[in-house]
Structure 1
Amino acid sequence: MIKHIVLFKLKDASTAIVDRTLEVLRELDGKVEQLVDIQVGADIIHSARSYDIALVATFASQEDLNGYQVHPEHLKVIEYMNEVRESSIAVDYEF
């Protein structure tokens, strides 16, 4: 199994933008067959080192993660995220 974790810092972390971004990310659930599980949440601490949104996705294999990266629904999300994100960091690991 593979965990794919991405943290996003948004250009505008207003409630409206955060809520819309959460919705866009959550819409991947059920649309991308490679996803075993997806969890998306907004930061509740709001410290100087915090990112605004976290995405945690689970895949059965590296091949499934690779398929997710080029899936048309994921590519639509990337287009949206390119508009609203200031930065992001990611880690992928086997468990």
Structure 2
Amino acid sequence: MITHIVLFKLKDNSEESVARTAAVLRDMEGKIDVLKSIEVGIDVLHSERSYDISLVTKFESMADLEAYQVHPVHKKVIEHMTQVREASVSVDYES
């Protein structure tokens, strides 16, 4: 199993903007066959070092993660995230 985690810091971190972007991420659920699980979290601490949204996804293999990266549904999400994010960091590991 491969776990793929991305943290997003948004340009506009208002409650409405964060909720809208979290909904865009959650909307991938059930639409990408290689995506085994998805969890989207919204930061509750709001500290100086906090990111606004976390995305945790799981895949059976690296090949499935690679297929996810180029899937049309994910590509649309990338378009949205490119417009709204200030920064992002990620980690991928075997789980």
Q: TM-score, normalised by structure 1?
A: 0.99
Residue ranges of structure 2 left out of the alignment (5+ in a row): none
- AA at the equivalent of 2:77: V
CA distance in 1, matches of 2:12, 2:39: 22
Q: Residues 48-70 of structure 1: CA distance to partner in whole angstroms, max 9, x if unpaired?
A: 11000000000000000000000
**For the residues of structure 2 that align with 1:20 and 1:41, how far apart are their CA atoms?**
12
How many pairs align? 95
User: Residue by residue, what CA displacement relative to the aligned partner does 1:2-50 show, whole Å, maximum 9, x if unpaired?
Assistant: 0000000000000111010010000000001110000001000001110
Identity of aligned residues (%): 60
Runs of 4+ more than 4 Å apart = none
- In the alignment, which residue of structure 2 is the partner of 1:72? 72
User: Following the alignment from structure 1 to structure 2, what is the Cα–Cα distance between the partners of residues 21 and 32?
Assistant: 18
Question: Match for residue 22 of structure 1?
Answer: 22
Q: Which runs of no fewer than 5 residues in structure 1 stay unpaired?
A: none
Cα distance in 1 for residues equivalent to 2:50 and 2:78: 21
